[in-house]
Amino acid sequence: MKKYLQKILVLLTVVCFCTGCSRRPVKYQKTDTAMGTIVSQTIYMTGDAEAAEEVTAQVRVCIEELEQKYLSWRLESSEIYKINASAGNGQSMELSGLMTEVFDQCNKVYEASGGAFDFSMGSVARLWNIDSAAVHAESFVLPTQQQLTQALDLVGAENSGLDSSQITLPRGIQLDLGAVGKGIALDKVESVLQEHETVNGAVISVGGSVVTYGSKPDGSLWNVGIVDPFDTLRNIGILSLPGGCSVSTSGDYERYVEVDGVRYHHILDPATGRPADSGVKSVTILYSTEQEAKGLLSDALSTACFVLGVEDGLRLAESFGAEALFVDAQGEIYMTDGMSQFFCLSNAVK
């Protein structure tokens, strides 16, 4: 009998070792900055703190490399910088595989949104310079209507000389992927996580964009808060999501400068060249099912929907199979049916 029990014990130990039940996933958290914003990581994984440190460092490096090699309009090392520097020189440039895919997806949103999302707005965005004015309000100078009209004359992604994997950028046009950078980063981050079998689940945010991955040890859903655009220290509600979701919020509270009671924010309406004024305070886009480039698309759509406003925005999101939630200037909330399955209003707002 004793021998029999011993055998069972040995067998149980082997099973536990193989299934990893002796090493239950542990929660690790890390907050960094990258892409000019806060990167927040919560990861459930087996392994010690050193292993977790390694994973979170790889995630940060992945985001930094994307910015340095491809997306930043400020850094000379990036592909976007080089494309912009080539404007008007008549030479066509061969695009990297990553950038070819990015422009391909961006063009879909550009066309479907009637140009509300437009990655050729760089020269107009530079006139406003909201990014630095949001930090140093004293540096803010309102662009003149003449400056805006002149810059807008050239704007339009269809004028950017893009031809599949080549681009010949005309003089006066500057590309700006600021509206999709965080989403692209999260698409890549998901691949980094997939490379680590020790990672069971994670929720990672880059500014207002979030990805959920895998599951928690207790099987509960991931909670992603939606910021109250009227009081950014609190949430208007929570999305309870399974792994594999992508969420992106665009709001007039992210980067702005206020002059004489007027808020100039960083989401521009390509029709006017001015901060979008569609009666919307924030838009959240969600992909809850598998979708290629879901981070990029949710990011592009949140910007496009902010420019379009509630009615046209809801139509656009639905045409892309995405869920949407709008908070308008009166504080009213509008959402797709699919979004309401995940959304729970905060108590104080009810």
Report the interface residues with ligand ADP, using CB under 6 A. 117-119, 121, 125, 176, 178-179, 182, 207-208, 250, 254-255, 266-268, 270, 299, 302-303, 307
Q: What is the rounded CA–CA span in Å between residue 74 and residue 224? A: 31
Q: What is the rounded CA–CA span in Å between residue 36 and residue 131? A: 10
281 binds, options Mg ion, ligand ADP, none, Cβ within 5 to 8 A by partner type: none
CB 297 within 8 A of CB 273: no
Nearer to Mg ion, 55 or 130 (CB): 130
Nearer to Mg ion, 37 or 302 (CB): 302
Q: Does residue 105 bind Mg ion (CB under 5 A)? A: no
**Max CA distance (Å), the chain:** 94
118 binds, options ligand ADP, Mg ion, none, Cβ within 5 to 8 A by partner type: ligand ADP
Nearer to Mg ion, 46 or 118 (CB): 118
Question: What minimum distance in Å lies between the beta carbon of 179 and Mg ion?
Answer: 4
In the Cβ-directed half-sphere of 260, how many Cα atoms lie within 13 Å? 2
Nearer to ligand ADP, 183 or 214 (CB): 183
In the chain, which residue ranges form alpha helices assigned H by DSSP? 2-19, 49-66, 79-85, 97-112, 122-128, 130-133, 145-154, 181-194, 294-308, 310-319, 337-340
Task: Candidates 73-81, 271-279, 295-303, 308-316: pick the segment binding Mg ion (CB under 5 A).
Answer: 295-303
265 binds, options ligand ADP, Mg ion, none, Cβ within 5 to 8 A by partner type: none
For residue 205, count CB atoms less than 10 angstroms from its CB and return exposed for 0-12, middle for 13-18, buried for 19 or more.
Answer: buried
Question: What minimum distance in Å lies between the beta carbon of 153 and ligand ADP?
Answer: 17
Using the rule CB under 5 A, which residue among 130, 302, 313, 317 binds Mg ion?
Answer: 302
Q: What is the rounded CA–CA span in Å between residue 210 and residue 102? A: 18
Nearer to Mg ion, 241 or 296 (CB): 296
178 binds, options Mg ion, ligand ADP, none, Cβ within 5 to 8 A by partner type: ligand ADP
CB 42 within 8 A of CB 27: yes
- Measured from the Cβ of residue 45, the count of other Cβ atoms closer than 10 Å reads 23
Which DSSP state fits 119? T
Q: Does residue 177 bind Mg ion (CB under 5 A)? A: no
Q: Which residues sit at the interface with Mg ion, rule CB under 5 A?
A: 179, 250, 299, 302-303
